[in-house]
Amino acid sequence: MSFRLHRRSTLPRPCAPAQHPVAIAVFIALSVHGPIALAQTPSASASQSGGPVATSGPVAPGGTAAPAAPADAASEAEPRRMDSVVIYGSVQRDTGFAPTQGITAGKAEMRLLETPRSMSVVTREVMDSRQITNLQQALQTVPGVSPVNFGRRGFDDINIRGFRSTESILIDGLVQSPGMWTRLTSYAYERFEVLKGASSILYGQVQPGGLVNAVSKRPETVRRLDGGVDIGSFNSRTLSADINEPLSANGRTALRITAQTSDGDDATDQVWRKDRWVSPSLSIDFGRDTEVVIFSSYSHSQWIRQQGTTPYGTLLPNPNGTVDRRMFTGDTAFGGYDVEQKTLGYSLEHRFDPALTLRQGVRYEEESGTGNFVALQALQANRRLQNRSATRQYLDYDILATDTSLLYRADTGPVAHQLVVGLDARRGHSRQGSRACTIAPLDLFNPQYGMPATCPANLTAFAPSTLTVAGLYLQDQMKFGAGWTALVGLRRDHSRERLEDRVRNTQSLKTDAATVGSAGLVKEFLPGWSTYVSWSESFLPVSGQDFDGKGFVPETGKQYEWGLKHESADGRLTGSLAVFDLKRRNVTTSDPVNTGFSVQTGEQQSRGVELEVGARLKDGLSLTAGYAYTDARVTRDNNAAILGKPINLQPLHAATLWALYKPTGLPNWTLGLGGRAVSRQRGSLPFALPGYAVVDASVGYAGPAWRVNAGLKNLLDKDYFDGAINANVVSPALGRTWTLSLQLSY
């Protein structure tokens, strides 16, 4: 199979001065009032003819074209890709095992070779070849993303460069609900881009380890009908559909509906999950210079939370014997999770002329539901009974997130600029409550279920809050010629949180402000080879007060990074090497004087090296591989027992490889093989998780309009632990699992 990449010509030239005030006025109006009708602006570029124009390669700011890939550069192992309506933050046209560009580092297309930051891209082709079903699986091939696992509890738990990044998962550049009670449906996205390290310049309040940007599927200009059926271990069943229908002659008005339903059990007894998800999107043709996509989604998930198991009798010895790892440590009689999520929004892009473009993304999201789970607590002295707690949770959350920016490409003398200036603003309401209940201990060697739980009549925690955030940002990519590129940015952010604690009958108003910056310099010292150095900052507001009633200041992150990058002339081979030093400051730690309170005296540091390679070779072999050395430690804390120790759940070494081979003499077949190796995970817990290595494999056969794939994960049935919640709970990984998929295309 083969595919073509269609790219709209974006040759920049300076705007006419008279157009600037109009553009700025429209920008301000959109930022404050939302969408307005845009009249078609005559384009000064004769090359634009109402749709994307095929070019030989991506066009860099200042009119310098990136190296063009030859016609046969696409790996034969990769499926055909249709033309797409090109909307900022939605569809990216760089595919395969060796992507060469991304949008997350600059909110605009940037060659990875010219980006002074470490960024990894997981494309749809890689995900399909590995039969990926969730975000955690998709990011297993990304160096620096820790294989942390808190049990199959139903959420996307992500650590990047040693620090938690679960609340820094964006969709098309916009933040999600911080409740994070659901996980992303990976089938909904074209690609995941991971920007590592402190990254607040363009995205505001994010965690210091980095962020994940999920890039959604959007309408295409041609008709398509794709469907899939998947069956697998533990009675798993999935139906998927991806339908695109052009509604105009040129295809620029089109409707796309993507949907998936899945059911399955688990290796742990009594654990199950059901997901229903659908996402329609509509592109509307407002003329050759304006592109609009209206999108929405609905999901409904129900599941029993797999919270892990006891370490006493599994990872650690127990004088009473060995605990069955399939044992469920909760109680289904207490209930499970039932969560609904709805979104509605749009993406808009309007070109005032080839040099000046207005972009806006808006998404409204609602999430509501209930969650009930039973968690293990301390082991009793008899080493047989383990205490438990039970919690009933209630979620009702909404958020309106917006991002409005101007993209300006122009030459000023010898310097070519790609300037992004924008305002992102959001407002959310949280009405989360919970009841802390009591339940009988669990007999690890003779578990009894249907145990009664005692819950208080009133909520034990209920503090509705309203959070308003606004950030003004500016970032400029400057090309000086002779292979030099600089990237500098600045952001000013304000947030206001009003909280009403209805249990303690108190109210509070907390305001935070921060100014952060970033700077990087790249030198392409040989064709296809560049080196870079960069500095970046992040910040994250922290809720709560100290003993004196003083509100906590935001956590901050600061990173220094040096790297080396490569992109072959034909685009078949990419590689990167990054060396980083990342500090997290203002970490809350226990107050040594006032029991039950916290102070912000903690500090953590992560240093490491990451290596990543992507290849699409001419002999039919495609691969992605990575290695990370991450030394993340507690450098300052009031608890002397953990000072200098590694951060929990961060392996010192982690390596990954996935290869897909299409034999020359068997053009319809593909063979996949790969795996990952993780070193021993130490920390402040009373145990360490042993290192492990697992192997995955797949085989596929493609017909004229169909494809069958069979995959095995953990091929050798390795018995290991891939996470721990605390000293009382460890997370056993899945053993050998299989998946059989049938994909149909029309």
Judge whether residue 629 has pLDDT over 90: yes
pTM (2 d.p.): 0.87
Query: What value does the mean pLDDT take over residues 168-190?
Result: 85
| Residue-level pLDDT at 73 | 35
**pLDDT value at 8 more than 80:** no
Q: What is the mean pLDDT of residues 194-222?
A: 93
Mean pLDDT value of segment 417-428: 96
The arithmetic mean of pLDDT across residues 276-292, rounded, is: 95
Structure confidence by residue, pLDDT tens digits, 298-331: 999 999 998 899 999 999 999 999 999 999 999 9
Is residue 190 within 8 Å of 166, Cβ to Cβ? no
Bridge-partner residues for 359, per DSSP?
349, 405
Which pLDDT value is given to residue 639?
86
- Scanning the structure block, which residue is given the tokens 């009675």? 235
pLDDT band at 10 (very low <50, low <70, confident <90, very high): very low
- Sign, CA dihedral 153-158-162-163, equals negative
| pLDDT of res. 70 | 37
CB-based contact 692:718 (threshold 8 Å): yes
Site of tokens 């304000």: 494
pLDDT digits (tens, 9 = 90+) for 339-354: 999 999 999 999 999 9
Q: How confident is the model at residue 551 (pLDDT cuts 50, 70, 90)?
A: confident
Give the pLDDT mean for 616-637. 94
Q: Which one has a higher pLDDT value, 707 or 77?
A: 707
Q: Are 392 and 434 in contact (CB under 8 A)?
A: yes
The residue-averaged pLDDT of 703-713 equals: 95
pLDDT digits (tens, 9 = 90+) for 437-449: 999 999 999 999 9
Percent pLDDT > 70 in the chain is 87
Kindly report the backbone phi and psi dihedral angles of residue 387, in degrees, each rounded to the nearest multiple of 5, phi listed first: -65, 155
Number of H helices and E strands in the chain, helices first, is 4, 37
Q: What is the mean pLDDT of residues 175-197?
A: 86
Answer for the pair 519, 486: CB distance below 8 angstroms, yes or no.
yes
Say what the pLDDT of residue 94 is. 63
Give the model's pLDDT for residue 618: 85
Q: Is the dihedral of CA 321, 324, 330, 335 positive or negative?
A: negative
Average pLDDT over the chain, rounded to an integer:
86
84 — pLDDT class (breaks 50, 70, 90): very low
**How does pLDDT run across 650-706, given as a tens digit for each residue?**
999 999 999 999 998 898 999 999 999 999 998 888 899 999 999 999 999 999 999
Structure tokens belonging to residue 344: 């509605």
* Region of 391 on the Ramachandran plot (φ > 0 left; ψ -120 to 50 alpha; else beta): beta
Nearest to 57 by CA among 71, 45, 46: 71
Q: What is the pLDDT of residue 179?
A: 60
pLDDT tens, residue by residue, 20-56: 444 444 444 444 444 433 333 333 333 333 333 332 3
| 481 confidence band (pLDDT: 50, 70, 90) | confident
Q: Residue 656: what are its φ and ψ, rounded to 5°?
A: -145, 150
Query: Model confidence at 16, in pLDDT bands (50, 70, 90)?
Result: very low
Q: Which residues pair with 731 in a beta bridge?
A: 723
Task: Write the CB contacts of 666 (distance below 8 Å, at least 6 apart in sequence).
Answer: none
Q: Provide the H-helix boundaries in 685-746.
A: none
CA 525 to chain centre: 32
φ, ψ at 112 (rounded to 5°):
-60, -30
**Calpha distance 112→56 (Å, rounded):** 18
Q: Quick check: 173 pLDDT over 90?
A: yes
Whether the per-residue pLDDT at 332 is higher than 90: the answer is yes
Is it the case that residue 264 has pLDDT exceeding 80?
yes
Looking at residue 238, what DSSP letter applies?
A: E
Given pLDDT bands bounded at 50, 70 and 90, which one contains residue 746? confident
Residue 592 banded pLDDT, cuts 50, 70, 90: confident
Closest CA to 397 of 154, 188, 203, 176: 176
18 DSSP 8-state letter: T
| Pick among 3.50.50.60, 2.40.170.20, 2.40.50.430, 3.40.190.10: CATH of 19-745 | 2.40.170.20
Q: What is the pLDDT of residue 614?
A: 96
3-class state of residue 139 by DSSP: helix
Phi and psi, residue 540, nearest 5°: -150, 115
Q: Which amino acid is at 393?
A: Q
Average pLDDT over residues 161-170: 91
- Is it the case that residue 62 has pLDDT exceeding 90? no
Task: Give the C-alpha separation, 635 to 644, whole Å.
Answer: 5
Type of residue found at 473: Y
Smallest CA-to-CA distance from 598 within 654, 550, 562 is with 550
User: What is residue 498's predicted lDDT score, i.e. its pLDDT?
Assistant: 93
Beta bridge partners of 401: 363, 426
Q: What are phi and psi of 113, to 5 degrees?
A: -65, -30
Q: For position 563, what pLDDT does the model report?
A: 97
Q: Is the pLDDT of residue 135 over 80?
A: yes
HSE-up of residue 433 (Cα within 13 Å, Cβ side): 14
Rounded distance between C-alpha atoms, residue 649 and residue 609, angstroms:
18
Q: Which two tokens stand for residue 310?
A: 């006891």
8: Cα within 13 Å, side-chain hemisphere: 24
State the pLDDT at residue 671.
Answer: 97
pLDDT of 334 higher than 80: yes
pLDDT > 70? residue 403 = yes
| 129-143, 173-187, 242-256, range with the lowest pLDDT | 173-187
Cα 746 to Cα 89: distance, rounded to the nearest angstrom: 27
Residue 87 Cα to chain centre, angstroms: 19
H or E stretch at 641 = none
How large is the average pLDDT for residues 348-377? 95
- Other beta carbons within 10 angstroms of residue 378's beta carbon come to 11
Q: What is the pLDDT, as a whole number, of residue 393?
A: 95
Range in 450-464, 592-606, 674-688 with the lowest mean pLDDT: 592-606
262 or 205, which is more confident? Answer: 262
